[in-house]
């Protein structure tokens, strides 16, 4: 494994970074989906703009989901 990493270090690092970006994007989408469903359930009109404006509200949810995985 160490030999593989030494020979292909750039590919391994790019793959790891790509995986991290993919996980973060999936968690952001999941948090947005939960927020939209919650707004709909509570009788508020769910909009994409409102979710983008209140992205800070999703940060604790992202931390919990990221630590869980």
Q: Compute the Cα dihedral for 62, 63, 64, 67 and give only its sign.
A: positive
pLDDT tier for residue 57 given thresholds of 50, 70 and 90:
low
Residue 63 CA to residue 30 CA, distance in Å, equals: 12
Where residue 61 falls among pLDDT bands split at 50, 70, 90?
A: low
pLDDT the model gives residue 9: 82
Does the pLDDT of residue 12 top 70, yes or no? yes
The chain-wide mean pLDDT, for the chain, equals: 76
Confidence grade of residue 18 (pLDDT, cut at 50, 70, 90): very high
Q: Check residue 43 and give left, alpha or beta (phi > 0: left; psi -120 to 50: alpha).
A: left
pLDDT at residue 17 greater than cutoff 90: yes
């Amino acid at each position: 494994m160490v030999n593989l990493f030494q020979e292909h270090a750039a590919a391994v690092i790019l793959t790891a970074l790509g995986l991290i970006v993919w996980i973060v994007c999936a968690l952001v989408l999941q948090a947005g989906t939960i927020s939209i469903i919650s707004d709909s359930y509570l009788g508020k009109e769910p909009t994409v703009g409102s979710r983008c404006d209140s992205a800070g509200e999703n940060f604790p949810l992202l931390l919990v989901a990221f630590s869980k995985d």
